[in-house]
Amino acid sequence: MTTAEPRRAAPGGASWSRRALALGIGLVLLVAAVAASLMAGSKATSATDVWHVLTGVADPYLTEVVRSRYARTALGVLVGAGLAAAGLLMQAVTRNPLAEPGLLGINMGAAAAIVTATAFLGFHGGTGTVWWALPGAVVAGLVVHVIGVAGARSGMVRLVLAGAVVSAVLSAYIQAITLSLPKVFDSYRHWVVGSLAGSSFATLLAVLPFTLVGVVLAVVLAPALNVLALGEETATAVGVNAPLVRAGGLVAAILLSAAATAAVGPVAFVGLAVPHIVRALVGADFRVQIPFALLFGPSMLLAADAVGRVLIRPQELMVGVVSAFIGVPFLLYAVRTMRGDG
């Protein structure tokens, strides 16, 4: 009588079959989310309509309607991937399961830059928003990094505190300007909630290089992050430069989240929830987590955007509002799945 062979486990605590199943689910969800994004809008379009447009047999009006959603969908994929990967990196580097892009003051940095440009430099919104928001987000993130991790073994605690302090200062500055200048507030309020409305390929191309650099850096650092997760002493013993790995992870997270925030405004919860979902599905290996975060992040963001466009049609809810409601059940499920793991 023979006994069945145990399932082979992949590195990081999940079996290869489980990861293959997760990959299939992720691809199906991404395709469904992209299709939903192309169908959703003030004018209802069916899957058949979208297929006719893609195959070139639709009438000109329907073709124009669906094509107007291409840039929005593409930018949603890029932003969702960037936020998810940034959240994963921040949770890994800070060892804080509640870490997300707003932790480093990136959202407030982008917002402060836009408010400053509107109030003092004659900026009036539009596609140029990204060119003001991006440097503001990057500078804020780097300031928090320099303050938080310079010269102390408790750098991760200092980092969180530095992010809170910088965010508070920038928030006070933003409130002072917007309350004093109503025109600035009127322009700023459309961006601060987070929305894919009005997306363009020009915006996508502006933030694409920063996202690509962040993704490449994250992939390169993934093996070292696995070692760092075992503890700083272990990492040092096997030749991993822990401070350098942390700094690289934070820089990658800053680039990813700054690009996403500059493109569409602050979008909550994607960077917090997706890493938990990914870990529950594929285990603790960062070499696997990063690609899966890039897969599941766009699905969540596009799903939230599609729901926001059909819920109160012909008006729409901002994706930043809907993403929290979409993400809550997924995060609760992931936490229940991980309960007792460690």
At 323-337, the pLDDT tens digits run 878 767 766 765 665
CA angle 147, 149, 219 (to 5 degrees): 120
CA 20 vs. chain centroid, Å, equals: 24
Whether residue 25 is contained in a domain is answered as: yes
> In the listed set 240, 266, 292, which residue is the last one of a domain according to the structure?
266
Bigger pLDDT: 295 or 164? 295
Whether residue 7 is contained in a domain is answered as: no
Whether residue 76 is contained in a domain is answered as: no
Looking at the structure, do residues 272 and 259 belong to the same domain, yes or no?
A: no
Looking at the structure, do residues 155 and 179 belong to the same domain, yes or no?
A: yes
Bigger pLDDT: 229 or 201? 201
Looking at the structure, do residues 169 and 227 belong to the same domain, yes or no?
A: yes
> In the listed set 199, 232, 266, which residue is the last one of a domain according to the structure?
266
pTM of the model: 0.86
Q: Which residue in this structure is represented by tokens 């928090």?
A: 144
Looking at the structure, do residues 24 and 116 belong to the same domain, yes or no?
A: no
> In the listed set 266, 297, 328, which residue is the last one of a domain according to the structure?
266
Query: Percentage of the chain with pLDDT > 90?
Result: 26
Looking at the structure, do residues 249 and 320 belong to the same domain, yes or no?
A: no
Whether residue 122 is contained in a domain is answered as: yes
Looking at the structure, do residues 195 and 213 belong to the same domain, yes or no?
A: yes
**Predicted confidence band at 3 (pLDDT cuts at 50, 70, 90)?**
very low
Name residue 139's amino acid: V
Whether residue 271 is contained in a domain is answered as: yes
Task: List the structure tokens of 10.
Answer: 């992949």
Please write the tens of the pLDDT for every residue from 251-302: 899 889 888 988 888 888 898 889 988 988 898 889 999 999 999 999 999 9
Bigger pLDDT: 125 or 102? 102
The structural domain count of the chain equals 2
Torsion sign over Cα 118, 131, 103, 76: positive
Whether residue 74 is contained in a domain is answered as: no
User: Among the listed ranges 71-80, 118-127, 221-230, 239-248, which one has the minimum average pLDDT value?
Assistant: 118-127
Looking at the structure, do residues 55 and 108 belong to the same domain, yes or no?
A: no
Q: Which residue in this structure is represented by tokens 């990063």?
A: 290
Whether residue 3 is contained in a domain is answered as: no
Structural domain boundaries, residue 157: 96-266
CA 50 vs. chain centroid, Å, equals: 27
* 244/81 Cα distance (integer angstroms): 24
Whether residue 9 is contained in a domain is answered as: no
